[in-house]
Amino acid sequence: MSTKILIIGACGQIGTELTKKLREIYGVENVVASDIRKLNNDVVNNGIFEVVNALDYNQIEHLVEQYQITDVYLMAALLSATAEKNPAFAWDLNMNSLFHVLNIAKAGKIKKIFWPSSIAVFGPTTPSQNTPQYTIMEPSTVYGISKQSGERWCEYYNNQYGVDVRSIRYPGLISWVSEPGGGTTDYAIEIYHKAINNKKYKCFLSDKTALPMMYMDDAIKATVQIMQAPSKQIKIRSSYNLSAMSFTPDQIASEIKKHYPDFKISYEPDFRQKIADSWPASIDDSYARDDWNWENEFNLENMTFEMISNLKAHLYGK
Ligand code: NAD
């Protein structure tokens, strides 16, 4: 049976680039992109697109049957900063969309699920340097609580019902193609836009706040890789730690200054500082490297070069 993919939340920061990559790999006719919003972008215009509400089991089931879907990538969620503003809705969306997809797999209607977790599963009591795969997990945000609960349910559905669900704890993701969706690490994207256009940036985190980060190309590569790996290699069915780099606002500003010597950064931490303070500074991802050969390509230096060149060429025509 050939691979037929449904992406839910395809118009988001990750979904936009994931949809493009999956269409390249599996063929445009084998990838169904879906989202609650219908934007005028490549996701909608360059292949199959359906409007769907991830909270509606029947709508998802209908699409799965209509297109004979084998693999679902569930990207719809409320992100960390937005979730704190609407905890009850965040819990509803983040948990029930996952249950719907897990239950469709349990019923034998799809073969494989990708569901993203986050470094937000860790909390203030977690060792923050080189955070291990297995450690104290007491998340203090509603987003983190929903991701940690999701991980437990993924593992449960795998153990009890043999559901082939695969997951990665993404760090903060940095991309130039689409807008970030309301996360605590969004500053590391905004800063490039401001460096190019204004040569100055007011950061909502403090100068020494170190967080784990990753360039989007690496995140997409990891997502494809974990889904293509033979099932027996995916030994962890909660979610894998995944890492590429860790930096502070101060460090990213220094890297940007190599391209824009006049660039200035100032700091005005807001409610997102507290979220960032509860997360790890860096991540140990040796299980992903050992089990399915994960390897990152981008660090702060080559990512900064890519971000600035691509934003200038494709967005700002400079
Ligand atoms: P995003 O907010 O940019 O995109 C989410 C998409 O889901 C949006 O296009 C939105 O319209 C859609 N959506 C929202 N509610 C929906 C619903 N009811 N039905 C259908 N679609 C709906 O988020 P993202 O950054 O692309 O993140 C995708 C996933 O990756 C999320 O689970 C997120 O928690 C996780 N993640 C992201 C990051 C990051 O840095 N971007 C880091 C860690 C984990």
Residue 16 shares a structural domain with residue 52: yes
- Give the Cα separation of 256 and 7 in Å (integer): 34
Active-site residue (options: 73, 143, 157, 240): 143
Give the C-alpha separation, 281 to 220, whole Å. 22
Between CA 201 and CA 190 the distance in angstroms is 8
CATH of the domain at 186: 3.90.25
Q: Is the same domain home to 250 and 202? A: yes
Which of 11, 14, 49 is the best mutation target for the ligand 1 pocket, counting ligand atoms within 8 Å of the beta carbon and taking the most? 14
| 122 within domain boundaries | no
Do 75 and 102 sit in the same domain of this protein?
Answer: yes
Decide: helix, strand or coil at residue 203.
strand
Its domain, for residue 153, covers 5-117+136-171+216-241
Residue 317 confidence (pLDDT) above 90? no
Residue 75's domain is classified under what CATH number?
Answer: 3.40.50.720
pLDDT tier for residue 225 given thresholds of 50, 70 and 90: very high
Lowest average pLDDT, out of 86-90, 102-106, 120-124, 176-180, goes to: 176-180
Q: For residue 278, how many other CB atoms are within 10 A of its CB?
A: 21
Residue 98 lies in a domain: yes
Question: Are residues 158 and 177 part of one domain?
Answer: no
Please indicate, yes or no, if residue 128 is contained in any of the structural domains: no
Q: Are residues 24 and 112 in the same domain?
A: yes
Residue 52 lies in a domain: yes
Cβ within 8 Å of residue 59, ≥6 positions away:
52, 53
- In-domain check, residue 131: no
> Residue 318: is its pLDDT beyond 80?
no
Confidence at residue 310, expressed as pLDDT on a 0 to 100 scale? 97
Distances (CA, A) of 168 to 20, 119, 151, 196, 315: 20, 9, 10, 32, 30
| 126 in a structural domain | no
Q: Based on the structure, what is the number of domains in the chain?
A: 2
193 and 235 belong to one structural domain = no
Render pLDDT for 171-216 as a digit per residue (tens, 0 to 9). Answer: 999 999 988 889 999 999 999 999 999 999 999 999 999 999 999 9
pLDDT score of 181:
85
What digits encode the pLDDT tens for the residues 51-60?
999 999 999 9
| CA 301 from centre of chain | 21
Residues 82 and 60 reside in one and the same domain: yes
Measured from the Cα of 170, ligand 1's closest atom is: 43
Pocket of ligand 1 (CB under 6 A): 8-9, 11-15, 35-37, 52-55, 75-77, 79, 93, 116, 118, 170, 172-173, 181, 183, 185
Give the tokens for residue 215.
């360039």
Q: 203 and 223: one domain?
A: no
Asked if residue 293 belongs to a domain, the reply is no
Same domain as 225, residue 205: no
98 with 198, same domain: the answer is: no
Under a CB-based contact definition with an 8 Å cutoff, are residues 63 and 109 in contact?
no
> For 273-281, what is the mean pLDDT?
96
> Catalytic residue at 143?
yes
CA distance 38 to 137: 37
Distance CA 238, CA 253 (A): 35
Asked whether residue 50 falls in the same domain as residue 66, the answer is yes
Q: Quick one: tokens of 196?
A: 């190019």
127 inside domain: no
Q: Is 179 helix (H, G, I), strand (E, B) or coil?
A: coil
Assign 283 to helix, strand or coil. strand
Pocket test for ligand 1, best of 75, 101, 141, 211 (most atoms within 8 A of CB): 75
Cα–Cα distance measured from residue 103 to residue 153, given in angstroms and rounded to the nearest whole number:
11
Within this chain, do residues 196 and 225 fall inside the same structural domain, yes or no? no
Query: pLDDT, tens digit, for every residue of 37-79?
Result: 999 999 999 999 999 999 999 999 999 999 999 999 999 999 9
State the DSSP string of 4-51: -EEEESTTSHHHHHHHHHHHHHH-GGGEEEEESS--SSHHHHSSEEEE
Pick the closest to residue 31 from 62, 2, 1, 59 (CA basis): 2
